Structure 1
Amino acid sequence: MSLDKDLQCREIYTKAVCGKGRKFSQVTNTVTPPHAPTSILGAWIINNQYDAVKSGENVEVVGTYDINIWYSYDRNTKTDVAKETVSYVEVVPLHYLDKKHKPSTAEVAAVATQEPNCVEASISSHGDNVLIRVEREFKVEMFAETKVCVVVCPNGCDEYDDKHVDFGGVEDGDFEDLDPDLLDEELS
């Protein structure tokens, strides 16, 4: 029995990844310590918390983090730690978007591929503020119901249960020209 004439296609709705995006950014935050700093002894970012919200064809990552700055003041005779909570909104465009998804079923998720990190801390030219340069990167995905086409066997699958279906000469090199960006990173 020929496999080709026994197969039919059917469109079904399923929940799938319908959009992906990634964004790296650098921002500068200004922190005003209680005393005019003489020098910066250390700076770090902790307590990053965020949520993902769908916004048109983008995903907004809305979050906060705490900046801690250890600094000296009074001509390097005293030290203190200045703490400030910073709010941010990172708009991440969806570079891949399935236009056939049902918008009413869309959900989004974000992962910080690079947590906010202080890469530079310097005293402002006025001498009363500390400028913190922060790098961060987010990867986002949108999940929704979408229509896909599947191959079905109208007579059932009993005769194919042995899983020895011949796919007509598929060779190892047949998949080399697939786009690796579409493959899930967890699989590689």
Structure 2
Amino acid sequence: MTFLDQEYREIITKAVCGKGRRFVETTHSVAASHKPSSILGCWVINHLYNAKKKSKDTVEVNGSYDINIWYSYNDNTKTEVVTERITYSDNIKLSVKDDHCINDDYDVVAKVLQQPNCLECKITNQGNKIAVEIEREFLVQIIGDTKVYVKVNPSGFHQNDDDDDWDYDVSEEELDGINPDFLNSKDKE
């Protein structure tokens, strides 16, 4: 690679300089107003999050969501919905890193691969407590400036580099190798 004869160019561009992924399962204990008889439904809503680079190898995703549990009480004669706001902080280690990024001015992109979702919701033996098992998964990317080296054609573009100049004709030899009954032979099988 020689820069003196101008065969290559250095291009500075934005590129993914790091990537990481993390799957989390966690259990929350939610207190109900009454002693539950049975769980009628559980759902997770209002998921909010943001991501920032924490260290050279780690991205921190901070977020929150609401857990809503619909349950019956008083021997299944009454129902109620209990809501609890949950906050979390996930540290995601970068499994892929490019150490050739030019500076430390990074953009952090976090993508939810699995929204927080209820896996299991059950009544515990601790009075009015309900245990909720939640899963979530993130993919994070660090985008920064990096250098790309590109070979330059010193003579520029040629007029005969056009796609129309390619020969797409079929030769007699290629035509002789084609079985004209190949569709019919498949139908007979």
Counterpart of 2:134 in structure 1 is: 134
Structure 2 regions of 5+ residues with no counterpart?
A: 164-189
| RMSD of aligned alpha carbons | 2.0
Counterpart of 2:68 in structure 1 is: 68
Counterpart of 2:10 in structure 1 is: 11
Amino acid at match of 2:20: G
TM-score normalised per structure 2: 0.76
TM-score normalised per structure 1: 0.77
Give identity over the alignment, percent: 44
Shift of 1:125: 1.9
* 3-state SS of 2:158 partner: helix
User: 1:140-155 maps to which residues of 2 (within 5 A)?
Assistant: 140-153=140-153, 155=154
In terms of Rg, which structure is larger? 2
User: 1:85-124 maps to which residues of 2 (within 5 A)?
Assistant: 85-124=85-124
Counterpart of 1:46 in structure 2 is: 45
Whole-Å Cα distance in 2 between the matches of residues 161 and 146 of structure 1? 34
Amino acid at match of 1:115: Q
CA 1:125–1:13: 2 relative to 1, 3 Å: same
Whole-Å Cα distance in 2 between the matches of residues 160 and 18 of structure 1? 38
CA 1:77–1:145: 2 relative to 1, 3 Å: same
Shift of 1:131: 0.7
Counterpart of 1:84 in structure 2 is: 84
CA 1:25–1:73: 2 relative to 1, 3 Å: same
CA 1:141–1:163: 2 relative to 1, 3 Å: farther
